[in-house]
Amino acid sequence: MAGHNPWPNEGNTGHIWDEDIRELDNPPPLWWMLAFYAGFVMIVFYAIYYPTIPLANGFTKGVAGWTAVKEYQESYNELKAWRKAKFADKEEALASKPLSEIMKDEDLKLYAVATSKMLFGDNCAACHGAGGMGNPNFPVLADDDWLWGGHINQIYASIANGRVGNMPARGLMGNLTDDEIEKVADYVMALSEGKGNDPSVAAGKAIFAKGMCVACHGPTGKPVAPNGAANLTDKIWRFAPVNDGSCTLMNEQTQRDAVVRTIKYGVNVKKNGHLIDCTRRAVMPSWKPRLGEKDVKRLAIYVHELGGGQ
Amino acid sequence: MSEQHRDGTRASLLDEYEVNSKTLEDIGVEILPVNTGKTVHAKRIPGHYRTLKWIAASVWLTLFFGPYLRWNGHQAILWDLPNRQFHFFGITILPQDIWVLAMILLFFALLLAAVTAIAGRVWCGYFCFHTVWTDVFTWLEEKFEGPPAKRIKLDQQPLNWEKIKVKLPKHLVWLLIGFATSFSFLAFFTDSFDLWKRLFHLDLGKWEWLTLIGLGLATYFFAGFMREQVCIGFCPYARIQGAMIDEATIVPTYDKDRGEPRAQMKERNAYVRKLLQQYKAKGEEEKLMEQFLAEGMDERAAKKKVQETLRQRANEEADHHFGDCIDCHLCVDVCPTGVDIRLGQQFGCITCGLCIDACDSIMEKIKKPKGLIRYASLDDFLGKETPKWYKRPRVLIYITVMTIAAGLLLWKLTHLSPIDVKALHDRAPLFVQMSDGTIQNKYTVKIVNKTPNKMMAKITVEGPKGLVFLTDRVVPVEPGTVGQAIVRVRLPKSALKNGRAPIRIIVQDQNHPEIRTTYESVFIGPKR
Residue B5 confidence (pLDDT) above 60 = no
Do the domain assignments include residue B33? no
| Out of B14, B432, B486, closest to residue A143 by CB | B432
pLDDT bin (cut points 50, 70, 90) of residue A287 is very high
DSSP B11: P
**Same domain, yes or no, for B70 and B197?**
yes
Do the domain assignments include residue B325? yes
Of B202, B219, B247, the one marking the end of a domain is B247
**Same domain, yes or no, for B63 and B210?**
yes
pLDDT bin (cut points 50, 70, 90) of residue B196 is very high
Do the domain assignments include residue B152? yes
CATH code (residue B443) = 2.60.40.10
pLDDT by residue (tens digit) across A54-64? Answer: 999 999 989 98
Residue B15 confidence (pLDDT) above 90 = no
**Same domain, yes or no, for B123 and B216?**
yes
Please answer yes or no on whether A235 and B7 come within 8 Å at the CB atom.
no
Residue B132 confidence (pLDDT) above 80 = yes
pLDDT bin (cut points 50, 70, 90) of residue B7 is low
Please answer yes or no on whether A131 and B440 come within 8 Å at the CB atom.
no
Angstrom distance (rounded) from CA A290 to CA B310: 122
The pLDDT value recorded for residue B16 is: 56
**Same domain, yes or no, for B274 and B197?**
no
Of B359, B381, B403, the one marking the end of a domain is B381
Angstrom distance (rounded) from CA A202 to CA A208: 10
| Out of A6, A130, A140, closest to residue B432 by CB | A140
Q: State whether residue B503 is helix, strand or coil.
A: strand
With CA atoms as reference, the chain B residue closest to A308 would be: B488
The architecture CATH gives domain A178-281: Orthogonal Bundle (1.10)
Do the domain assignments include residue B234? yes
Q: What is the mean pLDDT of residues A259-278?
A: 90
**Same domain, yes or no, for B257 and B226?**
no
Higher pLDDT residue, B385 or B67?
B67
SS (HEC) of B249-287:
CCEEEECHHHHCCCCCHHHHHHHHHHHHHHHHHHCHHHH
Among A280-289, B138-147, B421-430, which stretch is predicted with the lowest mean pLDDT? B421-430
Strand partners, A59: A54
Are residues B187 and B67 in contact, defined by beta-carbon separation less than 8 angstroms? yes
DSSP B81: T
Half-sphere exposure of B328 (CA within 13 A, CB side): 17
pLDDT bin (cut points 50, 70, 90) of residue A2 is very low
**Same domain, yes or no, for B129 and B115?**
yes
Angstrom distance (rounded) from CA B140 to CA B135: 9
- Cβ contacts of A142 on chain B, cutoff 8 Å: 429, 432, 440, 442
A144 touching chain B per CB within 8 A:
yes
Taking all residues of chain B, what is their mean pLDDT, rounded to a whole number? 87
Please answer yes or no on whether A134 and B434 come within 8 Å at the CB atom.
no
A92 touching chain B per CB within 8 A:
no
- Cβ contacts of A231 on chain B, cutoff 8 Å: 435
- Cβ contacts of B441 on chain A, cutoff 8 Å: none
Of B247, B265, B283, the one marking the end of a domain is B247
User: What's the total number of domains in chain B?
Assistant: 3
| Out of A9, A140, A234, closest to residue B436 by CB | A234
Please, what's the b/e burial string for B213-228 (b: 16 or more CB within 10 A of its CB; e: otherwise)? eebbeebbebbbebbb
Q: Which domain holds residue B76?
A: 48-247
- Cβ contacts of A19 on chain B, cutoff 8 Å: 2, 10, 12-14
Q: Quote the strand ranges of B43-139, DSSP E.
A: 70-71, 74-75, 77-80, 85-88, 91-93
Do the domain assignments include residue B205? yes
**Same domain, yes or no, for B200 and B84?**
yes
- Cβ contacts of B435 on chain A, cutoff 8 Å: 143-145, 231, 234-236
Calculate the alpha carbon distances from B165 to A54, B145, B158, B231 in Å: 71, 10, 13, 31
The pLDDT value recorded for residue B528 is: 67
**Same domain, yes or no, for B377 and B241?**
no
Answer whether the bond into residue B261 is a cis peptide, omega within 30°.
yes
Q: What share of chain B is helix, strand, coil (3-state, %, to 5)?
A: 50, 15, 35
Do the domain assignments include residue B410? no
| Angle at CA of residue B179, ends B174 and B181, nearest 5° | 95
CATH class of A88-164+285-307: mainly alpha
pLDDT bin (cut points 50, 70, 90) of residue B491 is very high
- Cβ contacts of B470 on chain A, cutoff 8 Å: 308
pLDDT bin (cut points 50, 70, 90) of residue B28 is low
pLDDT bin (cut points 50, 70, 90) of residue B3 is low
Please answer yes or no on whether B2 and A144 come within 8 Å at the CB atom.
no
The pLDDT value recorded for residue B285 is: 81
Backbone angles phi, psi at B140, to 5 degrees: -65, -40
pLDDT by residue (tens digit) across A219-243? Answer: 888 998 888 899 999 888 999 888 8
Instruction: Note whether A88-164+285-307 and A178-281 share their fold.
Output: yes
User: What are the sequence ranges of the domains in chain A?
Assistant: 12-59, 88-164+285-307, 178-281
